[in-house]
Chains A and B, each alone.
Chain A
């Protein structure tokens, strides 16, 4: 049953259908390759070209020696390397805070369910209706002068990590996942006198691999894509991630070196994507439809 789609096996035996399907497949594959791979390959070429070649002959295949030293120059002198490390560091922090908040919050709200859980749940749900960008300005003012704790988080990575943890979506899907775990497990544990902490570490966490995977992927990808927020809270250039630092050096450097910088910053995302493509595509199909 799952094998049949719109076109039935009977249709497929008709020459017209077969021919249309076959040629359509080739045309679409070529177009997709052009759109998906083309820019990346062009970038790779531009990154090891002379500056003049990019401007005067953008479609030329190879002209002259590949300029491998562009990559090194971009890495060290343009500081793409350190910015890459900053990006990784931001992603790691986002990941840690997101996973911590989502698992502890989800556990407390979905499994422990204290009496006031419905208020917290309501407050979490409410934030889903308010797109993040709306609180951009007040959030910035909050980070400048944090209530209770006091002081400013500007130029520290906490300014990115902590707000990244405030994702109601993550807490809610994690909670739902926990709620779907077999209830007998928790009851049996409770009868055995297992406390809330041990139940979390030895029962819930080992079972929550898949959901932690989803939350991890979402938070790490978000860290890589973010532009405006890190630009606002990290004015110190030595702390900026790639997305903030690249636009700021664009006007000062020669185009081939800049392309080398861009190339360095796409390598890791592409490699990770190709390694984990199934998770990406499954995750996008699953979460993409739900996340705002």
Chain B
């Protein structure tokens, strides 16, 4: 009896100790006695992006002035597929940082995202987000685990100057994969540059192969009652890979570099060494502002479609909130994320200052195509606000913008997306670096491997 009581006492003491330790910890890190909340926000621009850093600093000052009880601490942390799991495990993620749509569902499942349902529903901007878009960050019961701040549909980006040099019409980009192949060959033959190029590393190979497969009307995963399995071992992906194999080995139209992540490919494209590639319309920004490409040379077209069932992959960025942050911190962080990432679309003053600043230091590109996050009326309003400051050649986006609203939109593989992409990286790299690849066998093997990892994600 005595021992029991003593044990209970010790346990109770330990629990209390633990509780006080926890609360004092979060108090020390997050909320001060006077109610000031400190949050750490990711994606602070690095000093080499001087203009972006200035905008960021100004915005922080503005935000802190409007919210004297919130203190912002900047962190240059940005999502990196190579280290994200480790950073998650180590607990070093900022309070709020952007991650790709690809990761969101898996993180929700493993309870690694903070629930922000109430905060978003109560906020004036958050509640305006298009319900279709919001679905990407919701679990099956409708709870919200992130704030979508950017969305796009994939596009075929091309170098208009190389098109002209190859005798092609830069206003008529290819609309099927057969046309892509002919144009790529023409560019390679006439200019000696890569006609078509493709991302292949750090899971981008799987990402782009998925995009291609969708345009052939294919699928990556079957999800049936919570059980997922590989669904790509059939004609669409086979056709996509055959097209790649022919461009690479028959036509020799893909240049000589086959190990590209997104940035590396953008660098090559900006350097004028690539005719066409599949990417996002937003790639334009880096290419023109930091990589030295000329805006008038870049054309953006919708994806080529080879099937009436073909769809266009969508993607984007979601601000995630650290599950270890306190309730006050999450509230403050959502406020910040809405202020910094969304208000420039919904608030006239904010939109105008933003566009004006971007226009003035010529480093930002105003007027890039994007998938609108809110309702259509607000989009037209926004376009009117920023119109005077647009500094991109809008005509070069026409092939894309004129088709954008009629596209069938597709989402990324919902279960273990990054792991599936990693597996498909190998498939793409094999086709591009081994001439004698047996595509059928390659897909059967990969499909088996993906089934294995989906069975035990």
Instruction: Give chain A's interface residues, CB within 8 Å of chain B.
Output: 51, 55, 76-79, 140, 144, 152, 154-155, 231-232, 235-238, 249, 251-254
Contact = CB atoms under 8 A, between A and B. Distances in A.
A253 B48 CA distance: 9
A219 B109 CA distance: 44
A254 B292 contact: yes
A195 B267 CA distance: 66
Contacts of B75: 236
Contact of A140 (B76, B86, B91, B292): B86
Contacts of B263: 251-252
Interface of B: 46-48, 50, 75-77, 83, 86-87, 89-92, 261, 263-264, 267, 271, 286, 290-292
* Secondary structure of the A contact surface, majority rule: loop
A252 B292 CA distance: 11
Contacts of A238: 76
A232 B86 contact: yes
B42 to A, nearest CB: 11
Nearest to A52: B271
Q: Which 4 A-B pairs have the closest CB atoms?
A: A251-B263, A77-B48, A237-B76, A154-B90
Contact of A235 (B46, B47, B87, B291): B87
Contacts of A77: 47-48, 50
Given A235-B87, A251-B263, A252-B48, 11 more contacts: A76-B47, A78-B48, A79-B48, A140-B86, A144-B89, A231-B83, A232-B83, A235-B77, A236-B92, A249-B48, A252-B286
Contacts of A76: 47
A155 B47 CA distance: 20
A254 B86 CA distance: 29
Contacts of A155: 92
Nearest to B21: A150
A232 B76 CA distance: 16
Contacts, number: 50
A235 B271 contact: no
Contacts of B47: 76-77, 79
A267 to B, nearest CB: 21
A145 to B, nearest CB: 9
Contacts of A79: 46-48
Contacts of A78: 48
Contact of A254 (B89, B91, B92, B291): B291
Nearest to A77: B48
A79 to B, nearest CB: 6
B91 A144 contact: yes
B203 to A, nearest CB: 15
A140 B91 CA distance: 13
A236 B263 CA distance: 21
A231 B264 CA distance: 21
20 contacts: A55-B271, A79-B48, A140-B86, A144-B90, A144-B91, A154-B91, A155-B92, A235-B77, A235-B83, A235-B87, A235-B92, A236-B75, A236-B76, A238-B76, A249-B48, A251-B261, A251-B263, A251-B264, A252-B48, A254-B291
Contacts of A252: 48, 263, 286, 290
A64 B83 CA distance: 41
A78 B47 CA distance: 7
A231 B291 CA distance: 26
Contact of A51 (B77, B83, B89, B292): B292
Given A77-B50, A253-B48, A154 B76 contact: no
Contacts of A152: 90-91
Contacts of A253: 48, 290
B90 A235 contact: yes
Contact of B46 (A232, A236, A237, A251): A237
B21 to A, nearest CB: 10
A12 to B, nearest CB: 50
Nearest to B93: A235
